[in-house]
Amino acid sequence: MHHKHSHHQDFYSLCKSHMNKYVLAETSDGHQFDGVIVDVDAENVILAIPIGPSEMDFYQDSQAANYRQWGYPFGYGYYQYPYGGFYGFPGRRFNRLVLPLAALTALSVLPWF
């Protein structure tokens, strides 16, 4: 049990020290995720994951489907501007990903180009 707590605390400290940095996180099931660490708490790390062109198309299509089904894609009182973003702002470029600290097996800082 102590080893599990130590592992958890080690990854918490590592994530805290790499806040706002571009990282590659690997989980115990072998999945790898690259993104920017935007938050970390006692249980989870939150990454901002870049959306590629295919994911952007899917996101915009799903927003259009929500609009058709419910009338307001962002909830009552919010309006969607054309071209996938709000007036003067580009469309969404990142998704949030929450990973449990207990699932992390590796964390590496990546170069930012």
Q: Is there a contact between 92 and 59 (Cβ–Cβ < 8 Å)? A: yes
pLDDT of residue 107: 97
User: Rounded distance, CA 57 to CA 78, Å?
Assistant: 21
Query: What is the topology classification, in CATH, of domain 1-48+98-113?
Result: SH3 type barrels. (2.30.30)
Nearest to 22 by CA among 32, 5, 3, 36: 36
Of 88 and 21, the structure prediction assigns the larger pLDDT to: 21
Q: Enumerate the domain spans of the chain.
A: 1-48+98-113, 52-92
Q: Which residue has the higher pLDDT, 78 or 101?
A: 101
Residues 48-69 as b or e (16 or more Cβ within 10 Å = b): bbebeeeebeebbeebeeeeee
Residues 35 and 50: their CA atoms lie apart, in Å, by 7
Tokens of 37: 């660490």
pLDDT digits (tens, 9 = 90+) for 43-81: 999 999 988 766 555 445 544 444 444 444 444 333 444
pLDDT band at 7 (very low <50, low <70, confident <90, very high): confident
What's the confidence (pLDDT) of residue 93?
Answer: 84
The model's confidence at residue 11, banded by pLDDT at 50, 70 and 90, is: very high
